[in-house]
Amino acid sequence: MERLGGVQLMKRGWIGVGLVVASTLVIGSCGAGQPDDAADGRAPTAEDTGAAWSVAPATAIDGASPYTEDGITVQVPEGWVTDRAEDEGVVRIMVYDPADELNPVAITVSPDASDEAVDVQADVTWTQLGAAGATELERHPVEWTPWPYAQAITGVVERDDGAGSTFVSISARDEAESVMVSVSAQTAEGGLEESLQYQVLQTVEPAS
């Protein structure tokens, strides 16, 4: 394992959805324009939008402990750890099982919170993941009670061992427009919504 900015990086030769999202949030939150190129050579448009992605909020996971910092709360399962780094006001948090480091939950938190910022971040995430080799990319409007405006990018990434991971990366802002998050989760291809990683994602909410 190697470290960059205090956040543990995953093994080389693998895309690492959380790392892509973490590295692009500053770009998105600084008001970058629409990207010129997406995975198929064009920026995402309404044609690319899939069905609404509904996230059922969860407030607890058996045996988990709450992590509350930087304007958000997330439940950390027993035995899991967190890594945190901050750069120019943007916080990056990795929540993961040390026995399964290839499938973390990555959370980035920014004070630039607006519908426009969410849209830009979703565009940037689409472009960067497409450039990194992600496939089956779709963009979805998100229904998620703690976050009144959100957009999701879903798809599949391939590790260097040939195994696939299904992912979702959600960019969202809170009701007060004081916090924007990008939350990504991934696991073995086909099992995302049944995974503990997805349960962790479901617990992310603005800190009260």
pLDDT of residue 160: 61
Residue 33's region, left for phi above 0, alpha for psi from -120 to 50, else beta, is beta
Coil, helix or strand at residue 194 = helix
d(CA 50, CA 53): 8
Return the CATH number at 184. Answer: 3.40.1000.10
Q: List the one residue out of 144, 116, 113, 133 whose CA is nearest residue 20.
A: 133
The model carries a pTM of 0.81
41: in domain: no
39: in domain: no
Q: Between 124 and 31, where is the model more confident?
A: 124
Q: List the one residue out of 179, 187, 183, 178 whose CA is nearest residue 204.
A: 183
Domain total in the chain: 1
Give the pLDDT mean for 105-110: 93
pLDDT of residue 48: 55
pLDDT of residue 161: 66
Give the pLDDT mean for 193-200: 94
162: in domain: yes
pLDDT single digits (tens) 36-62 = 444 444 444 444 567 899 999 998 899
Give the pLDDT mean for 66-77: 94
d(CA 8, CA 161): 21
Candidate from 29-43, 50-64, 87-101 with smallest mean pLDDT? 29-43
54: in domain: yes
Percent of the chain with pLDDT strictly greater than 90: 51
Domain that holds residue 86: 3-30+50-206
35: in domain: no
